[in-house]
Structure 1
Amino acid sequence: PQSLHHRRTHNLLLIARLLSLRDGVSPFTLLLDSLSQSARPLLREYIRRQQSDTRIIFISFETAVAPEGVSVFIKARGKELVSLQREIGGAVGRGGTRTLLILDNLNTLSTTHPQSLTLFLSSLLAPGMVLLGVYHLDQPVPSFSSSPSSSQTGPQPLTLLRYLSTTLLTTHSLPHVLLRKRHKDVSL
């Protein structure tokens, strides 16, 4: 009972630190979601918990309207990677303010620019910058082996994103989790 209480307290403190970006806890957080549970509520909570001195830049590949509380909203769909980097760089600007950079769909970058994914994401990281990216697990990924320009030996984009991220959060539907637990308990 004591260790369970200690573990719960530790987990609550850790998630609170992650959501508030305290102490530079994680420079790149990857959110894995699915059709059964979207990462949007978690994104809203990240945005809601930021202090007024945090600049929030939202890079949209699929979101049509800027979420409430966002400082800069950049529509990225259909843009070349170089022009997108330039626009993000202009939005970040100079100065010592803390910046939360949210990418609402890393699947698009993974399919359109698989070879440039690592370089693009690492170019966004800087001191005082926190990167938060969403990857949809249910979205099909095209096979790169059929493309002549792709590297036959390179890792899949999701594998690469998991490797690069310093924090990995997977969203689950609570009813699905409870149902799975009930089935597991019955089978024991």
Structure 2
Amino acid sequence: MAPINRHDRQRAVLLINKIISSRDEYNFPSFTLLLDTVSQSSKPVIKEILHRAKESGKVKIILLSFETSQRKVPLLSSLWDADDETVQAYKLSVEAWQAEVKAAISRIKKGSRAILLVDSLNEFCKAAGSKVPQVLLSWAAPSVRIIGTCHTDVPLHESPKQNPYMVSAFATLKYISTTTFTCRSLSQTLEELEAQSYSRAKPAFGLDEGVEGVLQTLGSDRTEGMVVEMEHKRKSGNVVSETYVFPRRSTIDQGKIVTLSEYLELHHISLVSTAPGSAAAEGGDLGSTMHLGLTEQQRRDREGVVLPHFDAQKGEGGEGGRILYDMGAEDDFDEEEDEI
């Protein structure tokens, strides 16, 4: 790859590590939105964020639980401390769990930080109704990082009395989030890229297959890693988008995050490239299923063709721009047309 591509990759990896490690996420109120499906859970990303947060210093975890019935969640059991708290929202009314969350935030020690983890924004939106942004923003603080998981294959609850002109809850969550992670299966993403490179139809997985009884496709939640599509909003308002591969900590890579393009190179996976400098990026194919570019020989032949109207511009005079044409051996002579 060209040096500029290596530089872009390094900058992208530094950015994702900065976000995962929460280096700047406590300097201003932040909300990290995780989008997952039954094919790929967001739990590995959550575990990586919490693991790095616990390594960096004293961080309190506040779990707002809507779909987890155990007090010590298996995902957090190895990271759970005595100061961490769980708010069992599935047992409480809306007003009660909101009050408990505010009380837990008020118990954060001076100089410490906290992560407020919402395990299901689907249930949260159902309970909060049209006040989703107000509730989330009421918890926002420089010392609190809010992380929420939204299951995109589960419809968000919309009240029948809601104004039809109001923005949907999903659009609201994406709008107020500072970082959005879309979690995808690694093996399924590779199959989609392979189909795209050969101009085949995009394969369907899981519920999209439309097969009765099929919830998960083979390759879902595999242990070698996952693909994460990131959209990060900078303080300036610019949006940075990149696609990464998150290997599991138990694998040889030991959790080293790389860009998807670098992962393909490291594992010698060859696909049609749309990077700057490739034939497709230079306008050769323009996303078409046919090859519309020219070979070097075709380009030379095209440049050597002399069009008929160039002969009329040689200054012979009195011709009035008449096009001169020399008949070939394959042409059929017609006297009537010749007199015109």
- Aligned to 1:63, the other structure's residue is in SS state coil
Q: Is 2:111 the partner of 1:102?
A: no
Counterpart position of 1:121: 136
Q: Confirm whether residue 76 of structure 1 aligns to residue 81 of structure 2.
A: no
Partner of 1:88: 101
Shift of 1:36: 0.9
- Structure-2 separation of matches of 1:140 and 1:151: 18
CA displacement at 1:3 relative to structure 2: 2.2
Number of aligned residues? 185
> Counterpart in 2 of 1:186?
198
Name the residue aligned to 2:154.
Answer: 139
Q: Does 1:158 align with 2:179?
A: no
Per-residue CA deviation, residues 81-105 of structure 1 (Å, 9 max, x unaligned), is: 2211211122122523111111010
Larger Rg: 2
Q: What is the RMSD of the two structures over their aligned residues, measured on CA atoms?
A: 1.7
TM-score (norm 2): 0.52
Alignment partners' CA distance in 2, 1:128 and 1:113: 23
Distance in 2 between residues matched to 1:88 and 1:174, nearest whole Å: 35
Deviation at 1:152, TM superposition (A): 2.1
1:179 deviates by 0.4
User: Structure 1 residues 108 and 49 mapped into 2: Cα distance closer, same or farther (>3 Å)?
Assistant: same
Superposition map of 1:25-64 within 5 A = 27-50=30-53, 51-64=56-69
SS in 1 for 2:41: coil
Q: Does 1:169 align with 2:184?
A: no
- Residue 112 of structure 1 aligns to a residue in which SS? helix
Instruction: Give the secondary structure class of the aligned counterpart of 1:56.
Output: strand
| Structure 2 stretches lacking a partner, 5+ long | 200-288, 290-340
Q: Give the distance between the partners of 2:158 and 2:126, measured in 1 at CA.
A: 9
Distance in 2, matches of 1:97 and 1:20, equals: 15
CA deviation digits over 1:118-174, x for unaligned, max 9? 111011101211111110000023454xx12x2222111000000000111100100
Give 1:55 deviation, angstroms.
1.1
Structure 1 residue 77: deviation in Å?
Answer: 1.2
- Greater alpha carbon shift after TM alignment, 27-36 vs 93-102: 93-102
Farther off after superposition, 164-173 or 12-21: 12-21
The answer to whether the aligner puts 1:14 opposite 2:15 as a matched pair is: yes
Conservation of the 8 A alpha-carbon contact between 2:94 and 2:127: no
1:113 Cα offset (Å): 2.3
Following TM superposition, by how much is the alpha carbon of 1:24 offset from its aligned partner in structure 2, in angstroms? 2.4
Q: What SS does the aligned partner of 1:23 have?
A: coil
CA distance in 2, matches of 1:142, 1:59: 18
Aligned residue identity for 1:48: H
Distance 2:30 2:145 in 1: 5
* Residues in 2 aligned to 1:24 and 1:142: alpha-carbon distance in whole angstroms: 29
- Counterpart secondary structure, 1:49: helix
Q: Which amino acid aligns with 1:18?
A: I
Cα deviation for residue 64 of structure 1 reads 2.8
TM-superposed CA distance for 1:41, in Å, is: 1.0
Judge which range, 51-60 or 175-184, deviates more: 51-60
Q: Give the Cα separation in 1 of the matches to 2:90 and 2:4.
A: 47
